[in-house]
Structure 1
Amino acid sequence: MTTISGITKFESLSNELMFEIFDYLGIYQAYQIFFNLNERFQQLSTSSNQLIEVNLFNLSKSSFEEHYQEFFQLNIHRIRSLYIFNRSMMNSIISFLPSRTLFNRLETLYLNNLDLTNSIQLFNYLSLLPKLSSLILCILDGDFDRNMLYNGIFRLSSLKYCKISSNSFHNAEHGLIPIINRNQSPIEHLIIDFIIYPEELRYVLSYVPYLRRLSANLTSRRTFLRQSIRAISNSLTHVSIRLRDMSFNEFEPYMKMFFSNLQVFYLSTERDNQYLNAHRWEHLITNYMSHLRIFDLQHKTSLRKNIQRQHLLKQFSTLFWNRRKWIFTHGYQYSYQGCFYSTEPYRREKYTLRYDKNQPKYLTQINNNNLTSVRHVLVQHRFIIENQSINFPNLTELTFGEHVYISDKLLKNISKSNILLLQVTKITINNIDVGFYAIIKLLCLTPNCKKLTLSSLLFETENMTLTQLDKEYFENFSSKNIIQHVTMKLYSFADIQLLVKFLRRLEYLTISGECEFQEIIKYLLTEKKYTRYLHSLHIQSEEDIWQEQLINTIQEIGQNDRVSINFINYRECYLWW
């Protein structure tokens, strides 16, 4: 070990430095590494009364099962935040602990890849936790029992913050029934990150009278039913709503009824151009949202003539809007499709670089070129990178639209732009013609990228093999990239073989398509050289998955005791080992 101020032994480092190392590694990972080293490290790992954060994300089943019992037995009284990778982990922890043993100091719980089937026991346990104030649920299947979910959440007596998300799109087809226990939930901040109907929103609001901040995604039923909306006492001051196929006529009654105390309003809409009726907004805000300080509107629309654009902007430039400093602009995404949106200042975390045929630099100009709020940039047109002058100092995510081809010229322009590629940790490519070489070149420009999502993967030549690649370039990329999570559509078994040979730190793989997944599963579970870090496989098939056949495949290679299988539905399953 390198000498630092006379210290030559790792064991001689101060406790303060050791705790910094523990924080960097993560407390559970540090426990695995150091606990059995000597008695001093055992004392450091367990004797402190300092509250700890335990992150079990990106952990293999074998690593988790090796230490979790003794770790939680020794540290349950210290855990303030707990991040769980999947439902199997949570079940193992709860079932292992004695019946009266609780996470009495747990304040934040994040449950990822959650299967809500038979979750009554889970919510029963959570209801006993006296300090649980923040709950984040990421649900695997969108077709879950909404009654059971809300019933479980609304009886958590200390909950202040709750976020629920789902990776799948399903609407609640069955009506929501009143919760038996009518105790009011203390939730003050609620995020519903999946599509719900307006009826479901009314149902939710009736149980959260202390709610101050709400974020939700609403859609309309095909038939607009005009029905009375019962007033509900609420304290809403901050609302963010994304509408899908919901007209102004349908949404307006909800704004009148629920938004009387609103101070901050973010609204994303599409199609119905009544959302661009400035006079209608002036009347609504003046009479029903008089406390509104921030009004941030984004509306996707089609404007074929520049005169339409100028007329629209003029409507939103009257004294009413200027006095409140609510400024708007318009930019094209492709063809005549564009977006009318708020600016000066721009406040959202996502920003779309839009093509504007009326601007010589192919970019809708804004006065403030330093957008500190933006974390995610969406590139919608190949021309807009040229002469791109906006700064995104806090950028971490980059998405390329379906009309953007990843060419050498585009990559060259990106590298010369103000986009800080070294900060990017997540990349999404929606173009279906993206080539394998282009992916490698892009990832070389973004060496800190950990998550990659692809609509497809194309090989530039038939019968391409690794020997045709420049070996030095390949080895350099394979050894240095840190991609951990990939989502992609497969077209052949060769796709997966080449993918894992290049992305050798891959931990979590989500695949979809019409492939024979049995062969892929065999390969991923038996390949040792390139898949040493891989521990999770999420399959989204376009055809029914033969469950018995998949189980037999795992048994054939002697992995049935090693692999946990969770069938989400007939076309989706999750493997963890």
Structure 2
Amino acid sequence: MNIYIDEDAIDDKPKCIICTQPLGSLVILDCQHTFCEACIDEWIRKNASFPLCRRQVETNYVLTKISDLHICNQLDCLPVRCLQCQKNGIQQNRFKKHIKRCSKSRITIFSDSIQNRLNHIKSTIRSKYNSLEIPTPQRRVTPTIEPIQQQFTYHSPIQNNKQQIYNSRLIPTTVRLSCLENLANELIYDIFDYLDTNDIYFGFFYLNNRFENLYINLNNAFQLNLSNISKIDFEYYHKNVLEPNKNRIKILYLTNPFTIDLIFSPPRLISTYNQIEKIVFDNIHSKYLINILKHLICLPKLHSLTLSSIDYIENPSILFIHICRLTKLKYCQLTYQTKETRLIDFNECQQSSIENFIINGYFPYESLEKFLICFPKLHSLSIHRLVRLGDYSFEINFNPIELKNLKSVSFELDSIYFELLKKIFKNFFTYIEILTISVFNSSANFFHAEKWEEFISSSLPNLRILDYQNRYSGAMNHFICACRSGGFSSEFWTNKQWFFHNQYNDRLKSDDGLFFTINPYRRKTHEFYWEHYYNTRSNIHEDSFTSVKQISIHGTQTYMDCCVYFPNVNELTIYDCGSISTSLNKILPLQQLNKLIINSKKFRFKDILNLINVTSNLKTFKLYYHSIDGDQLKIIEQSDIYQSVLNKNQIENLEIIHCCCSLKEILFFSQLFSKLKTFQIEIIRKEFISIMRYLLLKMSHLVFLCIKDLPKIYSNKLNILIKSDNLLEHYFIKFINRDLYLWY
């Protein structure tokens, strides 16, 4: 409950006379009186009249919304007071956020809510910990539920003494309530075992002194994931969790480009987190990336490092130099982008202890020999992409290196011809047992089965697993693949249980295709075409694609039955209009999806809504969008499918690509996806002020905003707007690669 600071000093007009609260969703009647939409709708349905003038109306009277942003913004800025903590001066639009953190808020918990929460923990939290590659508690959940059931009393219809209890009025007619404070410390710690550290903090820390002390005295090693957290929540968290528990944090996962700057400013502070074993820094600014790398050498237990830069790296050599100095490191994944590819200098690198290295970036094959000299203990190596810098007339003469521990190699090749590939493997990778190769529009030799047989027999005698993909386009490559792919069914391949499939869209007469190994299919990603080559005559079976997590769908659905299914997919990308169909659920579990990308501007928006409507667990949505005029938006808003999506969707992350959205379109998306926490868009620049004011006032859950493709002057404009209109108290602004980032 919230009331005005000075009730007598406030004009009655900005208040709803029914609920006496600040006007929320504003509507106006024929008598020109204004009310909250929910209040007046309920009044008319009950009384069939207007509250003030008592005019009689039908119960299905159509309400007229007021869309004047200026009026709505003024109402949102009205000051209110919290009756629980008595804090004054809270703006109406920020009151919900205040209630979530209010130190005087009281939480009532039903026993069935605890039980449901623990059941949910069984199926989700454990898998979440497994994905972090850490040991999970082996304690069973059932013994934890039983003591809770003993302390919480149900009033169940099947109890023998129901009538006696009801008549004597010993408890309320539905359920007896009990306070969480009545639970023993041991039982609360049992519950904490199955909760994320973040959930424990935000759910229990501020309840009272007892729960604060329980949290402080946790014996668990901390594993922190600070994604999609607001700035003010982060500040509380930094003060009460990070700083007091530096010596207990073992895993640190940061994806926000702002949080890394705040925690490790200056960068040498990272050396104080001396128990960290695993670090994941995603979307880190290159300037901070280099500075932090210099101080990671002070972490004696760090064995796993994942780094991803949000902007261009001028010289990747410096990254490898600092990584090689981390003497305890066993696993490293490095993602970077450069404006141009050039040789990487390893002359200053010392020999590294790394055993598993993943490089997501352009890596010149000319630097490969020196790289392998610096990483002699490698067990697995993955490079995306291995490129050739020089022309075809110049070749490097490698000195052979014996890497007996290196058993798995994965390369995505760019401009590397077949004979050069053979030379690379003959010199460096003769001991490998697992080979993953991806090529695109390669030379004809990559389709030559006999050359592959000779290459594997002579240079890769220990090879057990081959994962091969050759993506091609153009009539000539299509013809070559059709002519030569039959050679991959000879006795050499079948004896090793290596089977191949040539996939192309025959129905659309396209020359694009994919030639790949199958049974089993080992990759987490797959390109699927609606075409008749997925049938029982091929080597593909219904359970061939259990490894696939991300699927991209092309083409138009055929009328033939499809015998493949992708049971573990959670990310879907669609490229063609015909791929949005009712048959999607025949090839993948739509309810399981948490990320959807529509990679085309040709879709009807109602078709997109139909798809979102059946993907109820969707959290991330990326849309290649084309502008829709205001009249079309109104028609969509009046449709049943719009209302269904409005009420059901759980989307928290939205990115709109290749379209400068107007204020009307921003209104449309923000109302449809009201739970957004992160929003990435391009906007019409002349509406920048109006759009930013609306987003900051109306989107209560939003904590991270990215406006793409803007001149740098707009960061100053945004700062001036926020301060002049008093829109935010706590916020950070960054400008990276013509993109404006706001975190608040």
Shorter-chain TM-score above 0.5: yes
* 1:278 is the counterpart of 2:449: yes
Match of 1:326 among 498, 523, 541: 498
Q: By how many angstroms is 1:450 displaced?
A: 1.0
**Residue in 2 that maps onto 1:315:** 487
After TM superposition, the structure 1 stretch with the greater mean CA deviation from structure 2, 244-253 or 67-76, is 244-253
Query: What are the Cα deviations for residues 126-185 of structure 1, in whole angstroms up to 9, with x where unaligned?
Result: 11111111111121013443122212222112111111224x564434x433453x4311
Going from structure 1 to structure 2, the CA distance change for 1:121 and 1:492 (only over 3 Å counts) comes to closer
Counterpart CA distance in 2 for 1:516 and 1:200 is 48
* 1:199 is the counterpart of 2:373: no
Match of 1:456 among 615, 621, 625: 625
**Residue in 2 that maps onto 1:383:** 557
Counterpart CA distance in 2 for 1:342 and 1:474 is 42
**Residue in 1 that maps onto 2:156:** none
Match of 1:123 among 293, 305, 308: 293
Contact 2:619 2:651 in 1 (8 A): yes
**Residue in 2 that maps onto 1:346:** 521
Q: Which has the larger radius of gyration?
A: 2
Going from structure 1 to structure 2, the CA distance change for 1:160 and 1:100 (only over 3 Å counts) comes to closer
Contact 1:345 1:368 in 2 (8 A): no
Q: By how many angstroms is 1:22 displaced?
A: 4.2
Aligned residue pairs total 564
Counterpart CA distance in 2 for 1:87 and 1:240 is 29
Q: By how many angstroms is 1:61 displaced?
A: 1.3
Residue identity matched to 2:400: A
Query: What are the Cα deviations for residues 403-440 of structure 1, in whole angstroms up to 9, with x where unaligned?
Result: x1067xx432224x141111111111111212322222
**Residue in 2 that maps onto 1:58:** 228
**Residue in 2 that maps onto 1:565:** 733
Query: What are the Cα deviations for residues 14-59 of structure 1, in whole angstroms up to 9, with x where unaligned?
Result: 5565446546653134213311212331232121322121111111
Query: What are the Cα deviations for residues 202-247 of structure 1, in whole angstroms up to 9, with x where unaligned?
Result: 4433321111111111233373331222334433211111123432
* 1:504 is the counterpart of 2:678: no
Contact 2:715 2:734 in 1 (8 A): no
Counterpart CA distance in 2 for 1:183 and 1:360 is 50
* 1:366 is the counterpart of 2:540: yes
Contact 1:351 1:377 in 2 (8 A): yes
Contact 1:126 1:156 in 2 (8 A): yes
Q: By how many angstroms is 1:199 displaced?
A: 2.9
* 1:104 is the counterpart of 2:274: yes
Going from structure 1 to structure 2, the CA distance change for 1:505 and 1:547 (only over 3 Å counts) comes to closer
Going from structure 1 to structure 2, the CA distance change for 1:278 and 1:100 (only over 3 Å counts) comes to closer
Residue identity matched to 1:207: C
Going from structure 1 to structure 2, the CA distance change for 1:73 and 1:468 (only over 3 Å counts) comes to closer
SS of equivalent residue, structure 1 residue 463: helix
Residue identity matched to 2:255: F
Match of 2:645 among 477, 483, 495: 477
Contact 2:651 2:676 in 1 (8 A): yes
Counterpart CA distance in 2 for 1:265 and 1:97 is 39
Going from structure 1 to structure 2, the CA distance change for 1:80 and 1:504 (only over 3 Å counts) comes to same
**Residue in 2 that maps onto 1:294:** 465
**Residue in 2 that maps onto 1:185:** 352
Residue identity matched to 2:344: L
Going from structure 1 to structure 2, the CA distance change for 1:146 and 1:184 (only over 3 Å counts) comes to same
Going from structure 1 to structure 2, the CA distance change for 1:29 and 1:466 (only over 3 Å counts) comes to farther
Counterpart CA distance in 2 for 1:330 and 1:510 is 38
Residue identity matched to 1:186: S
Counterpart CA distance in 1 for 2:480 and 2:270 is 67
Going from structure 1 to structure 2, the CA distance change for 1:543 and 1:97 (only over 3 Å counts) comes to closer
Query: What are the Cα deviations for residues 494-529 of structure 1, in whole angstroms up to 9, with x where unaligned?
Result: 33222121111211222347755834762355332x
- TM-score, L = length of structure 2: 0.69
Query: What are the Cα deviations for residues 228-286 of structure 1, in whole angstroms up to 9, with x where unaligned?
Result: 22334433211111123432244332222221111101111111222111121112111
Alignment of 1:241-260 (within 5 A): 241-260=411-430
Superposed CA RMSD in Å reads 3.1
* 1:5 is the counterpart of 2:154: no
Contact 1:436 1:458 in 2 (8 A): no
Q: By how many angstroms is 1:371 displaced?
A: 2.3
Alignment of 1:422-433 (within 5 A): 422-433=591-602
Contact 1:332 1:354 in 2 (8 A): yes
Residue identity matched to 2:552: L
Q: By how many angstroms is 1:562 displaced?
A: 2.9
Q: By how many angstroms is 1:116 displaced?
A: 1.5
**Residue in 1 that maps onto 2:396:** 227
Counterpart CA distance in 1 for 2:186 and 2:688 is 50
Match of 1:396 among 533, 549, 570: 570
* 1:46 is the counterpart of 2:216: yes
Counterpart CA distance in 2 for 1:395 and 1:363 is 24
Contact 1:109 1:134 in 2 (8 A): yes
Structure 2: gaps (5+ residues): 1-108, 112-148, 153-177
Contact 1:327 1:342 in 2 (8 A): yes
Query: What are the Cα deviations for residues 452-478 of structure 1, in whole angstroms up to 9, with x where unaligned?
Result: 12222453x652345752376544422
Once the two structures are aligned, what percentage of the paired residues are identical? 26
Contact 1:492 1:515 in 2 (8 A): no
SS of equivalent residue, structure 2 residue 706: strand
Contact 1:353 1:384 in 2 (8 A): no
Counterpart CA distance in 2 for 1:498 and 1:362 is 46
Residue identity matched to 1:339: L
Alignment of 1:481-492 (within 5 A): 481-489=649-657, 490-492=659-661
After TM superposition, the structure 1 stretch with the greater mean CA deviation from structure 2, 39-48 or 264-273, is 39-48
* 1:216 is the counterpart of 2:324: no
After TM superposition, the structure 1 stretch with the greater mean CA deviation from structure 2, 463-472 or 48-57, is 463-472
Counterpart CA distance in 2 for 1:189 and 1:431 is 37
* 1:71 is the counterpart of 2:241: yes
Residue identity matched to 1:391: Y
Counterpart CA distance in 2 for 1:400 and 1:520 is 33
Contact 2:621 2:653 in 1 (8 A): yes
Counterpart CA distance in 1 for 2:615 and 2:608 is 11
Counterpart CA distance in 1 for 2:496 and 2:278 is 38
Q: By how many angstroms is 1:574 displaced?
A: 2.6
Residue identity matched to 1:387: D
Going from structure 1 to structure 2, the CA distance change for 1:64 and 1:29 (only over 3 Å counts) comes to farther
Contact 2:365 2:388 in 1 (8 A): yes
Counterpart CA distance in 1 for 2:277 and 2:180 is 34
Q: By how many angstroms is 1:446 displaced?
A: 0.8
Counterpart CA distance in 2 for 1:302 and 1:140 is 31
**Residue in 2 that maps onto 1:441:** 610
